[in-house]
Structure 1
Amino acid sequence: MDQPAEFDAFYKDVRDRLLVEAYALTGDLAVSRTAVRDGLAVAWHHWNKVRRVDDRIGWVRPHVWRRARHRHNARPWHRERNLPDDVKETLEALNGLSLNQRKALVLTHLSPVPMGQLAREIGVTARTAEDLVTSANTDFAQARGCTVEEVGLRLEGLRTVIAGRWPRSTILRRAGTARRRTHAVAGVLATLALVVASGSLVAQGSDDDAALAEQGFSRRPMKVDTVPEVPTLSEESLLAASQLRRVDRGLTWTVGETHDNTTGDGLVLPCQSASFADPDGLGAYVRTFSGAPRKKRDAGAAAVQMVELSRTPEDAEETYRTALGWFTACSAPSTQLVGVHSLPDVGDEASVVTLRQWRGPDRTVQVAVARTGQIVSTTMTQVKGGSTAPERVASVLGASVNALCGQSGAGACSAPPKPRRTDVPRAGEVPGMLSEWDMPPISGTRESWVGTTAKELTKNEASTRCDTTAFTGKSIRIHLSRTFLFPKAAQKNPTFGLTQTAGLTRNAAQTRKFVEGVRAKMARCSDEELSTEVTRIVDQRGGKSELTAWHVESELPGDRSLEVFMAIIRHGNTVSQVGFVPAGKLEISRADFADLSKRALERLPRLRLEQD
């Protein structure tokens, strides 16, 4: 079979398969069809290479996916009208997943590949790939309202709406041939430009121009289109050890390793879930640092810088969001999200995320992420104890951006960083409710917090004996409840746990009345229950939002007492109650509960619940 016939057969075989893949990733049928067409034109451009590989569709797939993502960035998730309801529901469920989760579903159900290949195509480790497939199936099934076993069947429904006319294969071959010629001509013109430039230097100062003018001729400058420079990364643009003194001048900082992160599992940062935030990028570097104390009894520190170069600024924007998401929704054991700061005027966009690791000695981890043009730089410092103020790590990030911003592919440089506290980003099983990474440290266990699945319950476990608040009245349209605990410790201490219940009312007036009712009951409790002492620990009131938290201690027979923390929170027409019951050594401080209540208020505006 000759090459054109071979390509034509390949085109007819894979175009619909690639189309449904891209559609599942973007929810945009028109963009997906264009991406398939362009990706296959690229395949004809390189057909001498493609025809020799065993997995031809695997060669084309990254080109199609990348083009689909680029064109879809500024468009709504799906635009097609008159879609069947089941397809609309499938697209909405896919929209709630991360890009890597959608890729995992595509490569598991629509175009099944072995797990090892799936991991390579997504750019993650084999273990992470397995977790990704599991979470993608579970999250999709929950959002779609089906079982995990029915996920593949629901995704197959996308094939029913992709029918349409494809351009003739000869059109794609002409486009691929033109692309090949353009690349070849660009190379020739670039070479010619060098020859012309060198000739002009040799002829400088001659009388040729005058002679030509006398004969009625004049020289005209030759316009030459040169091939755009492909950006590259350099080790010289990474941070130096001396720049880490900004973190702690009392430490002696040294450089450890510098590498491209292509060996091992590639997980060099806390909470990192894949080797690269951009698996299709042009390159990456990782450099590690260690800070040694001058006195042996003092604590040392560690730092890491990771730099990734994406193919386009749009790719880098996605890389930035992915990297930032690793840390703002950190699933590492015993790790708490303390806060997030934005960094205006540092590169094109930048943020600092502060984490607390509390298994063993408390450690403060601060991760700063910045994008400048096509480059994303991530710096991490880890200090035992340590301040949670963001200024020092922000200064290190600013230095890293300024070391990068003058090179090809980079964008804006950095002004002196001025961190601004910002709300934590949308994240978690139910955006608007607390997640495991919001939970405070507990010293009485070596376990990590585990949250139950959020669901509607008749009994509100977040309430106290004083308020007995129910979320089942006429004013509450819909509600969800979720409990956080330590599984093994809970078996010995069945009363222990932290519960959040959140709901929606019909309007803000009903929410305000609901909260006022809880406050009134708590104010009367000490008078009505003489054995109960109620102490208010937080009281924030505003026009749109309110938060009040209490510590309640009740005397029990046998010289015992029951201790409970409770907070009631509202924002607009959303309301939430958080309750915590300690047990034995499993306890938190009043300050930690106050901070957790404020985090619940911070997340509450994002609460979106759907009525079944």
Structure 2
Amino acid sequence: MADPDEFDAFYKDARDRLLAQTYLLTGDLPAARSAVREAFVVGWHHWAKVNARGEPETEVRPRAWANASRRATTRPWHREKDLDPEVARTLEVLADLDWAPRRMLVACEVARLPLAEASREVGVTVEDGAQHLAVGRAELAAHLGLTTPEEVEAALSAVTAPLVDVRWPRPSILRRAGRRRRRVHTVGGVALACVALVVSGAVVHDADGTATSLARSVDRDAPAEEPALGPVPELAESFTTAQLLPSSEVELLSPDSAWTSTTSDNTGGDGLVLPCQQARYADAEGLAGFVSAHRATTPAGTSLRAFQASELSRDPEAATATLQTWASWFGGCDETRAQLLGTYDVTGVGDAALAFTVRVGGPPQSVVTAAIARTGDITTVVVSDAASTESDAREPIVDLLASAVDRVCETEAGGACSGSPALEPRLPVPTGDAPTLLEPVDLPPVPGIDLPWSGTRAATPEQNPAATVCDRAGFTDGFTDPTTRTFVIPDAGLPATFGLAQTSGRLSDQQVADGFVGTIADRLATCVEQDLVTSADVIGSGEYESGRMIVWDLEVRVDEDDTVRVLMGVARAGNLVTQVGFVPAGDADLDDDTFVALVQRARERLLIADPAG
């Protein structure tokens, strides 16, 4: 079993050395710190092997260097106003060196590696390594006016001296991330990838050479132009793409797939990159925002997509509003034929977190799994979009969300980090302007119909369109603010009788509301005797502390020879009641379980409108 004490001691001993080396290689402190952090996460992932070889630093160092070289931006020290001019000059000279001389210089002068070992890590022969080292020393000395080896060493030490004040995450955080990485690594074929939102106009190419970009990640109509985020205060300067999830973590979700990735500040195109996203930024007055997108095709030909969005707000209150906006986008997803499958509280991640599953579009259908968290002033979103509706990406996505939070929680703008993530089902978030009524996102797909549901505006009912000939339920006498709406599927060639209707209202108290439900049940029970229906079967029911629900499958007599199938349900939450009716047309039908679940969702909408119910 891996010994955490040994790893913790190694981490505390080696992290500053590796940070100095990666900073000298790149001049990009955020990228260097992130690179070292990730290298230790991977080190703990493989700690049994790494530690068994006796020199764990020789295992972690190459990964840290490689990570830093991938993430570094071009000459970032130019933006550091308080940087010592001599330090900036040294970084400039190092940046002008070719890659091999720079690495040999850092390996021998800073990491104190013997020439043979340094050459092996750089990937050159000993003879070439010696040549590269001599070039590096000579170039540095010539441009900085140095004359002795001691002066070269002092110049490099001056660059790294201030790094002793860098804050590091606790070892336990890295070990937890390593454990999550191990779990994710074993979940082969889970269709998701976390896309970080980052570089305006960034373009990548698929395996066949076709150019792709964030602007075409999601096909939809472009909204009205929105302003980019305003001037960036000092706090935002440390909020960079290096704090997004690395592509290496995303790619482990399907390691045998060919991935392409893009990052951007999301200022190009229409800004709608993630599924269900409804505006360029959730916080239009935020300080900074980034996105990333990852695409893959598995060897079996299945399409995978994943995304990450991260936004920096001005304070925790604005970040809370940002989280709520993202939640409303997923909870009220406006993608074609989207259906909200589940909403969850996420505990143990950041200051607050939620998760959603949404079935989208088709054919073929896909399942979007999204998780959102706030830590301090930062809101981050992780999303998977899996073409396979059989996969369950909730736990992997929440684990990735925890990793995303841990990358930023200890920054100045951060807040709570992650503990042990857990999912708990909860009520849907409020959406729409009629809180007691269903929304299109609540409605299931109808078999054989590839078009979306469309609902009328909520209105005061002159009569109740959800009532049947049996119950004749009216939402007039004694009701306060009753509302109704109907849903149809336009252009589907269905008869005018097809559709779904709902009416909701509030009565004076719970006892009166329960009596209303009881009256409908009594009328349905005697309806067969009156020969108004040929059958009235209860297909679902439930008793709750705050109310109840009953659902029927009816065969309603039209004339002496014909009947029409009608599904109807009634539910109460507190003193609120709702009735839902559905008339199918041939194969355009809903099975019993699907309709019962829909009536349950209608009751949840009542609870959202009146949580005390």
Aligned equivalent of 2:330? 327
8 Å contact from structure 1 (residues 564, 580) kept in 2: yes
Identity across the alignment (%): 33
- Seen in structure 2, the aligned counterparts of structure 1 residues 335 and 251 have a Cα distance that, compared at 3 Å, is farther
CA distance in 2, matches of 1:529, 1:517: 19
CA distance in 2, matches of 1:259, 1:537: 51
- Seen in structure 2, the aligned counterparts of structure 1 residues 349 and 318 have a Cα distance that, compared at 3 Å, is same
What amino acid is aligned across from residue 250 of structure 2 in structure 1? L
Query: Cα deviations across residues 438-467 of structure 1 (Å, max 9, x unaligned)?
Result: 111123333221111111223211112221
Find out whether 1:259 has 2:264 as its counterpart.
yes
Counterpart of 2:467 (choices 463, 469, 474) is 463
Query: Cα deviations across residues 213-232 of structure 1 (Å, max 9, x unaligned)?
Result: xxxxxxxxxxxxxx985552
CA distance in 1, matches of 2:351, 2:379: 10
Counterpart of 1:338 (choices 332, 337, 341) is 341
Q: Secondary structure at the match of 2:539?
A: strand
Counterpart of 1:351 (choices 328, 350, 354) is 354
Aligned equivalent of 1:39? none
Counterpart of 2:239 (choices 230, 233, 240) is 233
Measure how far apart 1:126 and its partner are. 10
Aligned equivalent of 1:283? 288
What amino acid is aligned across from residue 239 of structure 1 in structure 2? L
8 Å contact from structure 1 (residues 563, 582) kept in 2: yes
Q: Secondary structure at the match of 1:488?
A: coil
What amino acid is aligned across from residue 512 of structure 2 in structure 1? Q
Query: Cα deviations across residues 242-298 of structure 1 (Å, max 9, x unaligned)?
Result: 42367x5575363511111111111101121111112222222211112332334xx
Unaligned runs of 5+ in 2: 1-219, 227-232
Aligned equivalent of 1:397? 401
Query: Cα deviations across residues 15-46 of structure 1 (Å, max 9, x unaligned)?
Result: xxxxxxxxxxxxxxxxxxxxxxxxxxxxxxxx
- Seen in structure 2, the aligned counterparts of structure 1 residues 424 and 553 have a Cα distance that, compared at 3 Å, is same
Counterpart of 1:548 (choices 522, 538, 550) is 550
What amino acid is aligned across from residue 240 of structure 2 in structure 1? S
Measure how far apart 1:128 and its partner are. 3.0
Relative to structure 2, which stretch is displaced further, 430-439 or 580-589? 580-589
CA distance in 2, matches of 1:326, 1:265: 16
Aligned equivalent of 1:10? none
Q: How does 1:151-300 map to 2 (within 5 A)?
A: 231-244=237-250, 248-249=253-254, 252=257, 254-296=259-301, 299-300=302-303
Query: Cα deviations across residues 338-380 of structure 1 (Å, max 9, x unaligned)?
Result: 1111111201111101111133122110111111111111111
Q: How does 1:41-190 map to 2 (within 5 A)?
A: 128-129=223-224
Aligned equivalent of 1:364? 367
Q: Secondary structure at the match of 2:476?
A: coil
CA distance in 1, matches of 2:567, 2:235: 61
Q: Secondary structure at the match of 1:350?
A: strand
Q: How does 1:396-545 map to 2 (within 5 A)?
A: 396-473=400-477, 475-489=478-492, 492-529=494-531, 532-545=534-547
CA distance in 1, matches of 2:347, 2:543: 29
Q: Secondary structure at the match of 2:238?
A: coil
CA distance in 2, matches of 1:468, 1:128: 44
CA distance in 2, matches of 1:573, 1:558: 39
TM-score (norm: length of structure 1): 0.59
8 Å contact from structure 2 (residues 510, 574) kept in 1: yes
Q: Secondary structure at the match of 1:128?
A: coil
What amino acid is aligned across from residue 443 of structure 2 in structure 1? M
CA distance in 2, matches of 1:130, 1:558: 60
What amino acid is aligned across from residue 367 of structure 2 in structure 1? T
Aligned equivalent of 2:585? 583
Q: Secondary structure at the match of 2:257?
A: strand
Alignment coverage as a number of residue pairs: 384
8 Å contact from structure 1 (residues 302, 381) kept in 2: yes
CA distance in 2, matches of 1:571, 1:307: 37
Query: Cα deviations across residues 160-210 of structure 1 (Å, max 9, x unaligned)?
Result: xxxxxxxxxxxxxxxxxxxxxxxxxxxxxxxxxxxxxxxxxxxxxxxxxxx
Relative to structure 2, which stretch is displaced further, 313-322 or 333-342? 313-322
8 Å contact from structure 1 (residues 285, 308) kept in 2: yes
Aligned equivalent of 1:386? 390
- Seen in structure 2, the aligned counterparts of structure 1 residues 388 and 583 have a Cα distance that, compared at 3 Å, is farther
Relative to structure 2, which stretch is displaced further, 331-340 or 237-246? 237-246
8 Å contact from structure 1 (residues 444, 587) kept in 2: no
CA distance in 2, matches of 1:130, 1:254: 31
- Seen in structure 2, the aligned counterparts of structure 1 residues 251 and 323 have a Cα distance that, compared at 3 Å, is farther
Aligned equivalent of 2:130? none
CA distance in 2, matches of 1:523, 1:481: 25
Q: Secondary structure at the match of 2:347?
A: coil
Q: Secondary structure at the match of 1:563?
A: strand
- Seen in structure 2, the aligned counterparts of structure 1 residues 374 and 231 have a Cα distance that, compared at 3 Å, is farther
Q: Secondary structure at the match of 1:344?
A: strand
Counterpart of 2:307 (choices 277, 294, 304) is 304
CA distance in 2, matches of 1:310, 1:516: 50
CA distance in 1, matches of 2:459, 2:473: 17
What amino acid is aligned across from residue 538 of structure 2 in structure 1? R
Aligned equivalent of 1:28? none
8 Å contact from structure 1 (residues 260, 284) kept in 2: yes
Find out whether 1:376 has 2:389 as its counterpart.
no
CA distance in 2, matches of 1:302, 1:466: 49
CA distance in 1, matches of 2:235, 2:251: 35
Aligned equivalent of 1:48? none
What amino acid is aligned across from residue 426 of structure 2 in structure 1? T
Measure how far apart 1:569 and its partner are. 0.7
CA distance in 2, matches of 1:417, 1:356: 23
Q: Secondary structure at the match of 1:404?
A: coil
CA distance in 1, matches of 2:267, 2:480: 51
8 Å contact from structure 2 (residues 278, 329) kept in 1: yes
CA distance in 1, matches of 2:432, 2:235: 41
Q: Secondary structure at the match of 1:369?
A: strand
CA distance in 1, matches of 2:308, 2:495: 43
Measure how far apart 1:589 and its partner are. 1.9
- Seen in structure 2, the aligned counterparts of structure 1 residues 583 and 314 have a Cα distance that, compared at 3 Å, is same
CA distance in 1, matches of 2:421, 2:495: 47
8 Å contact from structure 1 (residues 457, 481) kept in 2: yes
8 Å contact from structure 2 (residues 258, 298) kept in 1: no
What amino acid is aligned across from residue 270 of structure 1 in structure 2? P
Query: Cα deviations across residues 65-113 of structure 1 (Å, max 9, x unaligned)?
Result: xxxxxxxxxxxxxxxxxxxxxxxxxxxxxxxxxxxxxxxxxxxxxxxxx
8 Å contact from structure 1 (residues 372, 413) kept in 2: yes
What amino acid is aligned across from residue 358 of structure 1 in structure 2? G
- Seen in structure 2, the aligned counterparts of structure 1 residues 239 and 564 have a Cα distance that, compared at 3 Å, is same
TM-score (norm: length of structure 2): 0.59
Measure how far apart 1:404 and its partner are. 2.0
- Seen in structure 2, the aligned counterparts of structure 1 residues 390 and 230 have a Cα distance that, compared at 3 Å, is closer
CA distance in 2, matches of 1:447, 1:242: 38
- Seen in structure 2, the aligned counterparts of structure 1 residues 390 and 559 have a Cα distance that, compared at 3 Å, is farther
8 Å contact from structure 1 (residues 358, 441) kept in 2: no
Measure how far apart 1:562 and its partner are. 0.9
- Seen in structure 2, the aligned counterparts of structure 1 residues 525 and 130 have a Cα distance that, compared at 3 Å, is farther
CA distance in 2, matches of 1:496, 1:430: 23
